[in-house]
Amino acid sequence: MESPLNSKMNDEFKTVKKTFQCDLQEHTIRECILSELKNEKVKLFIRQPHNLINEEILNCLNTGIISCIQDLQLKRDDFSSVGEVTVSLNEDNSWSIEEIDVIVILNVKDKELLRFINSCLKFFSKSCKLPDSVNFFASNKYEVDSLQNYRTEIEHLVKQLHRINMNKKEKIKLHNIFKVL
């Protein structure tokens, strides 16, 4: 029978998570993970079938990036590739990979090129049999910038609404305006 103390410790280990980004033009995903975790025990690389994200999947992701981009003869400034990795600490004090997002960001406005790269990455996703916790896609820098601007504007609006909510006079004034409408 497990003691309450051990149970609590297990719960604590399950909640420890870490998210970091990798420049995939400089390193492979595997190199980035090992570097970030500074050679701590990484359960991922123990070849066991119950590990959903294993070394074969990481190799397949790297191969996909190389295959889908290399033949296009893009200049290094025309794209960037970024990986965002989320890991969690397990009961046995080793790290497991929870989620990986690999994004190829094009710095050129070419929708056909974007479609081609996404088709290629989709092919690799199916070929590698990637689990749902791995996302592999391309986006256009200009679309990403627009989304980031949109997010910034929404965050600004939320701050304003919070400020209004905290100020009773403005809250009453705003309420009266909407009441009229």
- Provide the domain limits for residue 39: 4-140
Residue 157 lies in a domain: no
Residue 169 lies in a domain: no
Residue 86 CB contacts under 8 Å (≥ 6 apart), including other chains:
17, 18, 19, 97, 98, 99, 100
Q: Tokens 């910038």 correspond to what residue?
A: 145
Q: What is the pLDDT of residues 58-114, one digit of tens each?
A: 888 888 888 888 778 788 788 888 888 888 877 777 777 788 888 888 888 888 888
Contact 44/95 with Cβ under 8 angstroms? yes
CATH number, position 126 = 3.30.300
Structural domain count, the chain: 1
What is the value of pTM for the model shown?
Answer: 0.61
Residue 179 lies in a domain: no
**Alpha helices of 38-85 — where are they, by DSSP H?**
55-70
